[in-house]
Amino acid sequence: MADVLIIGAGIGGLALGLMLERAGIPCRIFEAAPEIKPLGVGINLLPHAMKELGALGLEETLAGQGVLTQKAVFFNRFGQLIHQEALGRAAGYGWPQISIHRGDLHASLVAEFVQRAGGERLLLGWQCTGAGEDGTARFRRTETGETLPPQRGSIVVGADGIHSALRKQLYPEEGEPIYSGVNMWRGVTRWPPILGGAAMIRCGWFTHAKLVIYPIRNAIDGAGRQLVNWVVEIATPRYERWNWARAGRLADFIGPVESWHFDWLDVPEFLRRADVALEYPMVDKDPLPRWSFGRMTLLGDAAHPMYPRGSNGAGQAILDARALADCLAASAEPVAALAVYEERRREATARVVRTNRSTPPDAILGEVAKRTGDQPFRSIDEVISRDELLAITDAYKRVAGYEKEKLRQ
Ligand SMILES: Cc1cc2nc3c(=O)[nH]c(=O)nc-3n(C[C@H](O)[C@H](O)[C@H](O)COP(=O)(O)OP(=O)(O)OC[C@H]3O[C@@H](n4cnc5c(N)ncnc54)[C@H](O)[C@@H]3O)c2cc1C
């Protein structure tokens, strides 16, 4: 039997590789990068993603590397508490929420795939240049540009990320990702535990500046400090093309948060002590009318890049992988399996893309900023009720597929 060709060894491609391997379906993963490097900074794995990674036997490894996040806390830009709620197991889920360095997560997925499927099934330096509806993929060697022999599979899965070559081939007129109007600076700082050391904190709003903070490694030194991930998000027309590794400059984002000296964190000091800062525009793409053409389909960011406002892009890629592996295991006819996969996942992920534009969990902050004119409040109860706040976060859980009751099924 021809194997499944997976283009891209990112989180989605590796999750698919592991799930196919578990189902006894042979696959190979072709990655353009000549070597695997730890890119990016922090990422959150919500309970729906952890359910799938746990079923692959990865919960203990990831929990050991990352931080079991216990609560979400929302503040305005004056450091006043707006809302908090429990997360992961602390909220009664059967799976944790894990905040982790994306490099740790990626390295664990690579190691697991190589161990289970064999190193020869992960090909590095193979840049896909296109694919055919007959399941053939074309490649060149990334370092030299030399043409490599085309490969034939039962299907070809484009898991090649936001700048997907396969998506470009299928939709040549689509153009670049769409800028949201918000630019992001991300980094990590070694710092003592903030608010108990297991909180995902969101503070302020884009029109001035929004800050997201969560720890991603515990006890990194003798003083018990954590590696703490942060993101500063500011509405601005100025941005550069999306790239995982663009360096960010403190001077470009420190101004709006210079006065944020809260009793729980001195924000400018915390940001000045950062080990690294990266810059990305917040971008997405419009949902596609179709993912699958003959024996070719899309998965993860190649299929549905979304704003990172719900900690959900990698999670949705992992859910895609589960659905595709299940469909391929259930049908001997790959083209029919792709149709069922697309039916299960295309509209579901389109809803997440659209909700991340309008009302992801941080919409709480936008609503409070709007009602208060982005000024301090006397009491949050005079601004918004707890039921209204919970309605926003609960609606997002339903759309993204991590409603507690549903996940138990
Ligand atoms: C700032 C930010 C914060 C985020 N935070 C979270 C979060 O907390 N939780 C969450 O779930 N998600 C988060 N995401 C989203 C998440 O990172 C992505 O959704 C996820 O990485 C998508 O995985 P993927 O495998 O589809 O794509 P990628 O991880 O982008 O992987 C694509 C792979 O394909 C390779 N490739 C590209 N082109 C080719 C080619 N032509 N041939 C061969 N290989 C190729 C690339 O080198 C790469 O290895 C965040 C995103 C951003 C930008």
Whether 216 lines ligand 1, by a CB cut-off of 6 Å, is no
> If you measure from the C-alpha of residue 273 to the centroid of ligand 1, how many angstroms do you get, rounded to a whole number?
27
Whether 159 lines ligand 1, by a CB cut-off of 6 Å, is yes
> If you measure from the C-alpha of residue 26 to the centroid of ligand 1, how many angstroms do you get, rounded to a whole number?
23
345-372 pLDDT, tens digit each: 999 999 999 999 999 989 999 999 999 9
Contacts by residues 346-351 (CB-CB < 8 Å, ≥ 24 positions apart): 346/287, 346/288, 346/290, 346/291, 346/303, 348/401, 349/287, 349/303, 349/304, 349/306, 349/316, 349/320, 350/287, 350/304, 351/399
Mean per-residue pLDDT, 195-213:
97
Whether 320 lines ligand 1, by a CB cut-off of 6 Å, is no
> What pLDDT does 38 receive?
75
Considering the chain, what is the average pLDDT of its residues?
A: 95
> How far apart, in whole angstroms, are the C-alpha atoms of residue 382 and residue 4?
57
3-48 pLDDT, tens digit each: 999 999 999 999 999 999 999 999 999 999 999 887 778 999 999 9
Whether 13 lines ligand 1, by a CB cut-off of 6 Å, is yes
> What pLDDT does 40 receive?
74
For residues 234 and 408, the model is more confident at: 234
Length of the chain: 409
Which distant-in-sequence residues (6+ apart) come within 8 Å of 197 by Cβ? 67, 215, 218, 226
Which of 7, 11, 29, 296 for a ligand 1 pocket mutation test, highest count of atoms within 8 Å of Cβ?
11
Whether 153 lines ligand 1, by a CB cut-off of 6 Å, is no
Whether 352 lines ligand 1, by a CB cut-off of 6 Å, is no
* Ligand 1 atom closest to 165 (CA): 41
* Ligand 1 atom closest to 8 (CA): 34
For ligand 1, atom 39, name the residue with the nearest CA: 160
Q: Is the pLDDT assigned to residue 314 strictly greater than 90?
A: yes
Whether 128 lines ligand 1, by a CB cut-off of 6 Å, is yes
User: What's the pLDDT band for 261 if we cut at 50, 70, 90?
Assistant: very high
Whether 165 lines ligand 1, by a CB cut-off of 6 Å, is yes
> How far apart, in whole angstroms, are the C-alpha atoms of residue 19 and residue 140?
27
> If you measure from the C-alpha of residue 387 to the centroid of ligand 1, how many angstroms do you get, rounded to a whole number?
35
Token pair belonging to 305 = 């890049």
> How far apart, in whole angstroms, are the C-alpha atoms of residue 85 and residue 73?
7
> If you measure from the C-alpha of residue 131 to the centroid of ligand 1, how many angstroms do you get, rounded to a whole number?
20
Q: Is the pLDDT assigned to residue 300 strictly greater than 90?
A: yes
Token pair belonging to 358 = 């309008």
> What pLDDT does 1 receive?
61
In percent, the amount of the chain with pLDDT more than 90 equals 89
For ligand 1, atom 1, name the residue with the nearest CA: 308
In a 13 Å sphere around the CA of 160, the CA atoms on its Cβ side amount to 27
Burial class (CB in 10 A: 0-12, 13-18, 19+), 355: buried
> How far apart, in whole angstroms, are the C-alpha atoms of residue 213 and residue 199?
8
What does pTM read for this prediction?
Answer: 0.96
> If you measure from the C-alpha of residue 11 to the centroid of ligand 1, how many angstroms do you get, rounded to a whole number?
6
Which of 14, 16, 18, 31 for a ligand 1 pocket mutation test, highest count of atoms within 8 Å of Cβ?
31
Whether 88 lines ligand 1, by a CB cut-off of 6 Å, is no
User: Looking at 30-44, 206-220, 328-342, which range is the least confident one?
Assistant: 30-44
Whether 300 lines ligand 1, by a CB cut-off of 6 Å, is yes
User: What's the pLDDT band for 189 if we cut at 50, 70, 90?
Assistant: very high
> How far apart, in whole angstroms, are the C-alpha atoms of residue 122 and residue 113?
8
> What pLDDT does 66 receive?
98
Which distant-in-sequence residues (6+ apart) come within 8 Å of 113 by Cβ? 9, 14, 17, 18, 21, 29, 121, 122
* Ligand 1 atom closest to 30 (CA): 43
Give how far Cα 393 sits from Cα of 313, 348, 398, Å: 17, 18, 9
Q: Is the pLDDT assigned to residue 242 strictly greater than 90?
A: no
